[in-house]
Amino acid sequence: MVAIGVLLGVMVLFAVLLIAKVLWRPYSRTEQAEGLRLEQKARDEVRNNRSQYGSHFVHSA
């Protein structure tokens, strides 16, 4: 009985890990890095606009 429980537990754990790996694959590191780079670019742009026009003009950032 205990052996069956342990076996089922291991199988469920393996299934969860497999599903997590398959779902994680579309977000590969290169795409994630590209997204982070675009976010940083947008942040820099907002910061440059603030310093150029003053912070009271940029509220939607």
Phi and psi at 10, nearest 5°, equal -65, -40
Give this prediction's pTM: 0.39
Distance CA 33, CA 28 (A): 9
Q: What are the residue boundaries of the structural domains of the chain, listed by start?
A: 33-61
34-57 average pLDDT score? 72
User: Six-digit token pair at 29?
Assistant: 């590191």
Per-residue pLDDT reduced to its tens digit, 3-42: 998 999 999 999 998 888 777 666 556 666 677 778 888 8
Distance CA 48, CA 26 (A): 33
